[in-house]
Structure 1
Amino acid sequence: MELRHLRYFVAVAEERHFGRAAQRLHIAQPPLSQQIRRLEAELGVTLLQRTTRRVELSPAGAVLLDRARGILAAADAAAEDCRRASDGEIGRLSIGFTGSTTYSLLPRVATALREGLPDVTLDLRGEMITPAQVEGLLQGTLDIGFLRPPVRSRDLTLEVIRSEPLAAVLPAGHRLADADEVPLEALADEPFIVYAPHLRSVLGDLVEDACVAHGFTPRIGMEVTETATLVSFVAAGLGVSLVPTSVSGMTVAGAVYRPLAGVAPRAQIAVAHAAGEPPPLVARALDLVQTAVMGIPADTLIS
């Protein structure tokens, strides 16, 4: 049983007339009659009761008409979905966000993708460190990643979309909590809340390098795996830390953010995907992402 046979049958069943059905299908009447007879022979039933004036459905024909309509509708929908998938209008997108971008970019990107690709299923994964995203992108479990360079892989394409300075995050009762600027060297004797070394965090390396450049190695007070936990531990008075300014949008009672004195080290954010021409859905998403991140103040610091 072929789809074209079902289309022929539905046309005759709905028109109740071979001539009108043939005109509707843009074929000659004799071949249409022949195809209907072949369908009946294949099924071993009579589908149409033919008279000199009109055509009536047999009980078997009434059942097939209902089923055929559903089958043809499903086939048409499948063809349309294939076209839309090829055009990047439907499908599934998995996107990773490194620590601070979870709070600064994820909401804006999610809104842009939901509005621009309403029929796409979004799998948004926050608090993913850069090495984990690189692995996901290379293995195909992530389509797009918001991560922090450097990334040394020829199999990935990266585009830096933002660069933001680091800021100090301090307990609200800290001696420098009300300072306009915090000299980094003034934190030399403080316990630092840092990312656990096994995470191989790009931001963790940046913080350590910044401290070393100011004459000290940060003394580790606590190790964490997520940015939200880091800020919460600072708020609890367990230490201090350095974070990208975008993290200041995450308000935690007991934690304050202050600019660093002088030229602050900067952390980059890049959008990454597998090297080569991206699939249509990923390409459409990247275009929407570019629009979504435009106009976000990179140096905004919320005190």
Structure 2
Amino acid sequence: MEIRWMRSFLAVAEELNYSRAAERLHIVQPAVTQHIRQLERSVGTPLFVRTTRSVALTSAGEAFLEPCRRALAQIETAERLARAAADGHAGHVRIGFAGIFASAGIARIAREVREAEPDITLEIRPSSHNARLLEELLDGSIDIGLYSALFTSEGIRQWETPPVRLGVLVAPAHPLTQRASIDIGELRTEPFVLTDASAGLVLRDTILETCRSAGFMPIIAQESGDAYSVLTLVAAGIGISLGPDVPEVYPSGVRFIPLLQEGPSLTSALGTAAAGPSAAAIRVLDIARAALGIDGNDDAHHTEH
């Protein structure tokens, strides 16, 4: 059963006139007549009652009408999505991220993709380690990754996001809460909450190096296996910590206070495997770069290290 036969049937069924159906389809009337005859032979029964003055659907034609209409709508959708996929405007893209602080960027990307390209479906996959995320990019488990810029790998194209400065994280009842900014040296007697070394998170090393550069090593009150637990402990008043200026990821029980001096920062990287991302993945990369404030002068295939 050919699509053109079905389209001719639908036009005649809705117009109940062969001439108007032909005009609507931009073909000659004999072609419409031939399509209907071929369709009726394929179905095995007449679909129209035709006289010199009128055209009407048979009971078989009435039964065939709605399924035919739905089938054609699905075919048109499939054709549209196929064309859109070829142009990067439809498809399925897997995007991974490592760490709680990357989640804010992922949420921003997801919103922008949903608004700009509703026919692209994003599958978002969190990962516990930056190194693992790069492995997933290289083995094709994901198409795009957002992770610490300190991690690089041959075979991955990546672009750095603008750096985000670190500040002090405290509970609402902490004496420092009302401060507009804090000198890092003021924290030498404060108990800290950090992720433990086995978690392998960049933020822990950054905090230790920041304190070391200020002339002290932090007093560690408690360590935890992930950043979410650290925030919970900070909110409970167990200790303070340092974190990037991304307020949307912090719970209501955690306050962010900027450091007084030019302090440390965290930089993320947006990456994809060098071995040819799909057209949809390239489109998502373009949207993601704009959403994260990455220089838009480079095209999506450029490698930065």
- TM-score normalised by structure 1 residue count: 0.75
In the alignment, is the contact (CA less than 8 A) between 2:166 and 2:258 conserved in 1?
A: no
Q: Does 1:243 align with 2:226?
A: no
Q: AA paired with 1:275? A: A
In the alignment, is the contact (CA less than 8 A) between 2:47 and 2:57 conserved in 1?
A: yes
- The residue that corresponds to 2:58 in the other structure is 58
- The whole-number CA distance in structure 1 between the counterparts of 2:63 and 2:206 is 70
- The residue that corresponds to 1:272 in the other structure is 271
In the alignment, is the contact (CA less than 8 A) between 1:231 and 1:252 conserved in 2?
A: no
Where structure 2 has 5 or more consecutive residues not aligned to the other structure, the ranges are 295-305
Q: Against the structure 1 CA distance between its residues 224 and 17, is the aligned structure 2 distance closer, same or farther, given a 3 Å change threshold?
A: same
In the alignment, is the contact (CA less than 8 A) between 1:163 and 1:266 conserved in 2?
A: yes
Q: Does 1:159 align with 2:159?
A: yes
Q: How many residues are treated as equivalent by the alignment?
A: 291
In the alignment, is the contact (CA less than 8 A) between 2:162 and 2:293 conserved in 1?
A: no
In the alignment, is the contact (CA less than 8 A) between 2:8 and 2:32 conserved in 1?
A: yes
- The residue that corresponds to 2:184 in the other structure is 182
Percent identical pairs in the alignment equals: 33
Q: Against the structure 1 CA distance between its residues 159 and 64, is the aligned structure 2 distance closer, same or farther, given a 3 Å change threshold?
A: same
Q: Superposition pairs for residues 1-303 of structure 1, below 5 Å?
A: 1-97=1-97, 98-103=99-104, 105-106=105-106, 108-124=108-124, 129-170=129-170, 173=174, 180-183=182-185, 187=188, 191-213=191-213, 220-246=220-246, 250=250, 252-253=252-253, 257=257, 259=259, 264-294=263-293
Where structure 1 has 5 or more consecutive residues not aligned to the other structure, the ranges are 296-303
- The whole-number CA distance in structure 2 between the counterparts of 1:66 and 1:16 is 16
Q: Against the structure 1 CA distance between its residues 169 and 290, is the aligned structure 2 distance closer, same or farther, given a 3 Å change threshold?
A: same
SS of 2:163's equivalent in the other structure is strand
- The whole-number CA distance in structure 1 between the counterparts of 2:242 and 2:207 is 6
Q: AA paired with 2:199? A: L
In the alignment, is the contact (CA less than 8 A) between 2:87 and 2:279 conserved in 1?
A: yes
Q: Residue deviations 1:110-168, cap 9 Å, x none?
A: 44334323454444556854234334434445443332122232232211112133334
- The whole-number CA distance in structure 1 between the counterparts of 2:84 and 2:120 is 11
SS of 2:152's equivalent in the other structure is coil
Q: AA paired with 1:292? A: A
- TM-score normalised by structure 2 residue count: 0.74
